[in-house]
Structure 1
């Protein structure tokens, strides 16, 4: 299982890095800014994508996109296509880099992860203050750009999805909503200060973050994964939604479960990809279902009230 987990977590990274440059840079309509931010004496890096709409000066939504384990901001750009979506829909995107090894080798340079609680990698071992970094990142962007503070969101894949859950737990005062693809809550004690909208996308055939969880800690991620439904059910309960979701089929192989009547205008949605593996759905392996525009529509419909 540990070997399959390692292979699966790295699959999306390899696939993203293998994309043609034209696809990875298919965001030419906007502007990319590479920057660093000092946090606890460490220079943390990120890429900021500004859509053409940013030139107008009106406050725009902000989406923080969190890469998977063993990956980085550049790979997240290529994997998710959020920059192209931002250019079309008019929102700002930040792609932060997580924490790497203290002494990276040529092979591990540029491979980062997130301290998502009980996961993952060097970030967890070093107890990196990734919540503090991402708080500072949002604050810096808000000071430098016109941001709609009612529309600040986080989206993440794999370890990045687990970090998005941690932000919902520990920084719910900032984030109106989160999107998780192939992740789970691994925060030992999740105590949000306010409701957060949550959309979770997960394949039933995911071997890296198993749909039904794991009975013991996995050696690669050093985590014991709970059943995915437990993470979704936690947020449905905290947000005061109905306990039983309303299920509906959308496109072939996708089942949507919506938890209605959540408080404070929030929503909880669970998209189950039948036989789906550990991947960011791009509309090709899942015809008719691409995660990025689907997530953006959910975010756009659920600002903080």
Structure 2
């Protein structure tokens, strides 16, 4: 292990298996989602506002097989089309499709925020994303125990907000350089206090959304998830190292782990270590999500 890639492993995370809960769409051929739903968005009206989202079906979609459901949320000033296409600084669907080649597979959902962001005023974005879940799961076969959300910046903030709002209905989130204030964390039956498996990463040199916000979001779920080291500050990489430090917290509820990666870098969804041609972020996200079967 080099100084550029330190890892504090406080607990080895086992694969966590839950009971299978098929969605209402299982066993029925889709009537709404088609192969063109990656280029032509679907539309819902929520709070009298037209909202749209893209859906990517797995190759050889099987209507009797329950898949993972993964939200991939864009940043401020971006849009869902960029997340789908991998333009504007994004890797397509945050780089997950090439990695997810197991027997479960995944359905990717890329929604558009209002005004290219996720202000979530009055909880309207949470209401929209709840309706997206209901709409997709009524049409497609989803394992309702395997719902996930990831996103960068504002998309990270909204993934955090979903963890607060949906609670145990969301299996895990991957929050990439977000902030706890901009989308909020005060709605839902648990008032933001329910445990959700949580992965966070943040650049220690981030001047757009400082790392202190990332630590604050992490600490909320350390508390929510009953982690024994909730008050212990995690180590971070040296300035100028271009490295990352990964902390896997001990003492959390068995099926609600918390992982934190601090990296020496700016506000970016695609951090790289010295000499690397590709970002490590998709691998860390998938390593975390893949533990839930």
Q: Tell me if both proteins adopt one fold, taking TM over 0.5 as the criterion.
A: yes
Q: Does 1:144 align with 2:139?
A: yes
Q: Does 1:115 align with 2:119?
A: yes
Partner of 1:16: none
CA distance in 2: counterparts of 1:52 and 1:166, whole angstroms: 31
Partner of 1:210: 210
Partner of 2:97: 86
Q: Does 1:291 align with 2:281?
A: yes
Q: Is residue 99–residue 113 contact of structure 1 (8 Å, CA) maintained in 2?
A: yes
Q: Does 1:279 align with 2:290?
A: no
Shift of 1:57: 3.3
Shift of 1:294: 1.9
CA distance 1:241–1:128, shift in 2 (3 Å): closer
SS of the aligned residue for 1:54 comes to coil
Q: Does 1:41 align with 2:56?
A: no
CA distance in 2: counterparts of 1:68 and 1:192, whole angstroms: 22
CA distance 1:265–1:247, shift in 2 (3 Å): farther
Runs of 4+ in 1 over 4 A off after TM superposition: 245-249, 282-286
Q: In structure 1, list runs of 5 or more residues that go unmatched.
A: 1-29, 101-111, 117-123, 213-226
Shift of 1:248: 9.6
Number of residue-to-residue matches in the alignment: 238
TM-score of the superposed pair, with normalisation by structure 1: 0.70
Q: Is residue 160–residue 185 contact of structure 2 (8 Å, CA) maintained in 1?
A: no
Q: After the TM superposition, which of the residue ranges 185-194 and 147-156 deviates more from structure 2?
A: 185-194
CA distance 1:85–1:160, shift in 2 (3 Å): closer
CA distance 1:53–1:195, shift in 2 (3 Å): farther
Q: Is residue 83–residue 94 contact of structure 2 (8 Å, CA) maintained in 1?
A: no
Partner of 2:13: none
CA distance 1:236–1:50, shift in 2 (3 Å): same
Partner of 2:222: 236
CA distance in 2: counterparts of 1:74 and 1:210, whole angstroms: 27
Q: Does 1:167 align with 2:156?
A: no
CA distance 1:86–1:56, shift in 2 (3 Å): farther
Match of 1:58 among 44, 65, 76: 65
Q: Map Cα deviations across residues 130-160 of structure 1 (whole Å, 9 max, x no partner).
A: 0000001011111111101111011011111
CA distance 1:68–1:253, shift in 2 (3 Å): same
CA distance in 2: counterparts of 1:234 and 1:154, whole angstroms: 17
CA distance 1:200–1:133, shift in 2 (3 Å): same
Q: Is residue 246–residue 259 contact of structure 1 (8 Å, CA) maintained in 2?
A: no
Partner of 1:22: none
Shift of 1:297: 2.1
Q: In structure 2, list runs of 5 or more residues that go unmatched.
A: 1-33
Partner of 1:195: 195
CA distance 1:46–1:247, shift in 2 (3 Å): same
SS of the aligned residue for 1:55 comes to coil
Q: Does 1:132 align with 2:127?
A: yes
Partner of 2:80: 73
Q: In angstroms, what is the RMSD of aligned CA positions?
A: 2.7
CA distance 1:188–1:299, shift in 2 (3 Å): closer
Q: After the TM superposition, which of the residue ranges 182-191 and 153-162 deviates more from structure 2?
A: 182-191
TM-score of the superposed pair, with normalisation by structure 2: 0.73
